[in-house]
Structure 1
Amino acid sequence: MNFENLDVWKRSARLSAEIYKSTNELKDFGFRDQLTRSGLSVPSNIAEGVSRESYKEKSRFIDIARSSLAETRTQIYIGLEIGYLEREKALYWISETKELGAMLTGLKQQFDNRS
């Protein structure tokens, strides 16, 4: 399985890039850094997990990616609440993180069923 062929990896990498571009001008470095790091962690852990040998390891990294995705969504909610993020964009990102979460759960179940 090649991570670059996975829709969940492609979409999460695109989301991460969008977050970077959209928060580039944000003056609150701490918030921006935390949001971009958690967003970047999602496709990175998918890639690392899928590249592992054992299904148990694959599953563990997908679980980490899901956790990072939940962290990202939390920060998006907060960024929306405090006026750091545009409403329409933030709501789209929240929807996207929910869909990605479901995709990651499905991928994790595939690995869990093989281990």
Structure 2
Amino acid sequence: MKYNRFEELPVWKDAASLAADIYRWSSQTVFRGKGDLANQLQRAALSISNNIAEGFERGTTSELLAFLYYARGSAGEVRSMLCVMDMMGDFNNLKSEISNFKSKSESIARQIRGWANSLQNINIAGQRHLNSNSKAVYDSEKRADAFMQKIDKMVEDAREKRGGAIV
């Protein structure tokens, strides 16, 4: 599926939702007197969606990849702070929420990793570098791949009909 705006990206939606939830959650009184913990947690959570958005808007695959790794790093930072909070007695009554936020940030990190892995295997430099020739080559490669997948499927179907052997 092709996305035209970062707001359409499922991973951005998940990250933005996590940030909004973290902001609401960390306004509780238990966070008072804990230094910059709430503020740092909020900033790290917000950084995930912001880096996804900035990378998406940059226009090159290499810049998008860099910002996806920044976003993934921020998801790790959120998890790290939640793990530390889990070890602090002051947050014992929030263990369930902490666990839930850790799971959400892990899920986001996995989504980002999957997207980054798929981007590393494409031959297009990004929107900023697209011209009619590079787009034609890219589209031709996609059509060729789709054609080869159809042939593979036809061979597999024929193999099943003949009991596994194709002569």
Decide: shared fold, TM above 0.5.
yes
Q: TM-score, normalised by structure 1?
A: 0.93
Q: Which residue of 2 aligns with 1:84?
A: 91
Note the C-alpha offset of 1:29. Answer: 4.2
Partner deviation per Cα, 1:51-84 (whole Å, 9 max, x = no partner): 1111000000000000010000000111122133
Q: Summarize the alignment of residues 1-115 of structure 1 with structure 2, pairs less than 5 Å apart.
A: 1=3, 2-25=5-28, 26-27=31-32, 28-82=34-88, 83-84=90-91, 86-114=94-122, 115=125
Find the residue that maps to 2:91 and give its secondary structure: coil
> Which amino acid in the other structure matches residue 96 of structure 2?
E
Distance in 1, Cα, partners of 2:14 & 2:61: 23
1:94 aligned partner, one-letter code: K
What is the aligned residue count? 115
Give 1:111 deviation, angstroms: 2.1
Q: CA RMSD in A?
A: 1.3
Rg larger for: 2
**CA–CA separation in structure 1 for the residues paired with 2:24 and 2:79:** 17
CA distance in 1, matches of 2:116, 2:83: 25
Instruction: Say which SS state the counterpart of residue 27 (structure 2) adopts.
Output: coil
Question: After the TM superposition, which parts of structure 1 deviate over 6 Å for at least 4 consecutive aligned residues?
Answer: none
% identity of equivalent residues: 28
